[in-house]
């Protein structure tokens, strides 16, 4: 039995509210159970210097957690003067994931920065950031199309991410913090709306896993990604 009482293949409740920030070109608040992430997308007229004269655009991401997003206060990284390795790893992952769903030639030489700020953490913050970040990015792209800055839509497919793991010897979908911190195997699965894989991160945290267990996690991930893409579509109307 899972601590939450959910079935093995049962997601937490999903909510995506769009247009939550006045000034951002695209924004949403995504809630996956008790994990809440504010995502915004900002359009910058120039691409990074390494893309000058290539005709290619860029999508990048920044990630952070509010001091009381967890059960005890964490010092702001800005006050510490540097980002942790975890923060750098996660924001690079978000950027890679979102770029996989974008035709950078159609975007042109401009950059979109997606900011993901965790308001409340209960497991799966990087996955929620990717799923919500895609919605914010989609809304920003809509603005570029609406004003005629770009002609063709750079968004080639949905991008969503979900965690799966082995908890108490069973494959489960969408880990909360209690499950994540006690899972024998933990994995993050990033997929497109058409069901193709973008990135898979799996590790044996407390116990090794078999090929059959990996297949069970992949099956759960496909289920979760379909539900998340449906939630993205519903939020966008």
CATH number at residue 227: 3.30.230.70
- CA-nearest of 180, 155, 207 to 41 is 155
Q: Residue 156 in contact with residue 101, Cβ under 8 Å?
A: yes
Residue from 26, 31, 7, 100 nearest 59 by CA: 100
Distance CA 44, CA 59 (A): 10
Question: What integer pLDDT is reported at residue 200 of this predicted model?
Answer: 97
Domain hosting residue 134, numbered range: 14-236
User: Is residue 75 a part of any domain in this protein?
Assistant: yes
Asked if pLDDT for residue 112 goes beyond 80, the answer is yes
Q: Do the domain assignments include residue 96?
A: yes
**180 close to 123: Cβ distance less than 8 angstroms:** yes
Tell me the average pLDDT of the chain: 96
Q: What count of other Cβ atoms lies within 10 Å of the Cβ of residue 224?
A: 25
pLDDT tens, residue by residue, 66-95? 999 999 999 998 888 889 899 999 999 999
Q: What is the pLDDT of residues 12-33, one digit of tens each?
A: 999 999 999 999 999 999 999 9
Structural domain includes residue 198: yes
């Amino acid at each position: 039995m899972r601590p939450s009482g959910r079935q093995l293949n049962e997601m937490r409740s999903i909510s995506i509210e769009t247009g939550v920030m006045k000034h951002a070109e695209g924004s949403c608040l995504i809630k996956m159970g008790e994990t809440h992430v504010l995502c915004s997308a900002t359009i910058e007229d120039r691409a990074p210097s390494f893309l000058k004269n290539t005709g290619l655009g860029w999508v990048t991401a920044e990630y952070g957690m509010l001091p009381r997003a967890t059960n005890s206060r964490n010092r702001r990284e800005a006050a510490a003067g540097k980002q942790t390795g975890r923060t750098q790893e996660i924001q690079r992952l978000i950027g890679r994931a979102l770029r996989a769903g974008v035709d950078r030639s159609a975007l042109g030489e401009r950059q979109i920065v997606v900011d993901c700020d965790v308001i409340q953490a209960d497991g799966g913050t990087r996955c929620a950031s990717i799923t919500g970040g895609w919605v914010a990015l989609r809304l920003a792209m809509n603005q570029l199309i609406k004003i005629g800055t770009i002609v063709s839509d750079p968004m080639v497919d949905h991008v969503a991410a979900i965690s799966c793991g082995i908890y108490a010897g069973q494959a489960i979908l969408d880990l909360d913090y209690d499950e994540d911190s006690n899972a024998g195997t933990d994995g993050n699965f990033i997929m497109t709306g058409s069901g193709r894989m973008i990135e898979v991160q799996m590790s044996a945290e407390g116990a090794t896993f078999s090929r059959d267990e990996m297949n069970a996690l992949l099956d759960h991930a496909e289920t979760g990604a379909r539900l998340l893409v449906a939630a993205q579509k519903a939020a966008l109307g």
